[in-house]
Structure 1
């Protein structure tokens, strides 16, 4: 059962890391779920209150940072709330509409369309679109780093404590 447990933990870690780029996948929640799988199939013994507190705070930070960093990218490039909403919709729909490049084109087009809907001229709308792509990539970097921290903390707790 231990081998199955570790295989599922690793699978959830991979899904979680893929979720940093592909928003349809659960991301940080998959990594967090891996801890429960480990506990149920192997042992909850290594985990105490501090482990769960640290991991839960990191998950909350990832969720908050994901939205804030993306929104900051849009607003730093002159985008409004409409482009933030548009880029969010584009991040979700883009990969389905344009499978190969939708993850990049989606937020860009979403931000541009959001700005054009509120009658923003083309040039500032395009600038907001660029900001949405930069915000998306910045958000991915933040999520990758924080999820790697989650995995390292888990490994330290399991093997070092």
Structure 2
């Protein structure tokens, strides 16, 4: 495979990764990492060294963890019952299958339903559901920021 073709693939992976931070079913930061790793490999790790690739890997893992834990952390901070936490987790998985809107709303619905089943209090269930939604929104913003930071770290390492 030619070098320009490999560089095109690396750029496409990173661009797809940026898009994947907001689109469900695309592993956003994992794609950014794959593109950066490919770019480092193409150049024989001359410009972008192994240390930088490891830092990018840690950033990708952090973003992945935030993606899965943000809603649960929001619910937990609101004092959610164990049933609400299970509902948020189930809602997150179901939301991944339902597309972008599902990713945003299913964890909220799952947490609220779990909290309602646990305590039979509509106000409390709504509060826990909203806290879950805020946690997910903050997690998504953090994931987007990390993805852009990963691209920035790669570019700076490549240029310096």
Match of 2:153 in 1: 153
- The number of residue pairs the alignment matches comes to 159
Maintained 8 Å contact 1:23/1:92:
no
The answer to whether the Cα contact below 8 Å between 2:40 and 2:49 also exists between their aligned partners in 1 is no
For 1:117-132, list aligned pairs within 5 A: 117-132=117-132
Question: How has the CA–CA distance of structure 1 residues 100 and 21 changed in structure 2, closer, same or farther, with 3 Å as cutoff?
Answer: closer
Q: Distance in 1 between matches of 2:94 and 2:22?
A: 13
SS in 2 for 1:22: coil
Deviation (angstroms), 1:62 = 1.8
Distance 2:157 2:100 in 1: 38
Quote the offset at 1:129 in angstroms. Answer: 1.0
Q: TM-score, normalised by structure 2?
A: 0.82
Equivalent-residue separation in structure 2 for 1:22 and 1:79 (angstroms)? 28
User: How far off is 1:151 after superposition?
Assistant: 0.7
Matches within 5 A, 1:9-158: 9-94=10-95, 96-97=97-98, 99=99, 101-158=101-158
Equivalent-residue separation in structure 1 for 2:156 and 2:139 (angstroms): 26
Cα distance in 1, alignment partners of residues 53 and 100 from structure 2: 37
Is contact 2:23–2:100 with CA below 8 Å preserved after alignment?
Answer: no
- 1:133 and 1:60 map into 2 onto residues whose CA distance is 22
- Aligned CA RMSD, in angstroms, stands at 2.3
Q: Provide structure 2 residue ranges, at least 5 long, that are not aligned to the other structure.
A: none
Distance in 2, Cα, partners of 1:114 & 1:104: 17
The Cα of 1:153 is off from its aligned counterpart by 0.7
1:17-38 CA-to-partner distances (Å, cap 9, x unmatched) read 2332234211211111112322
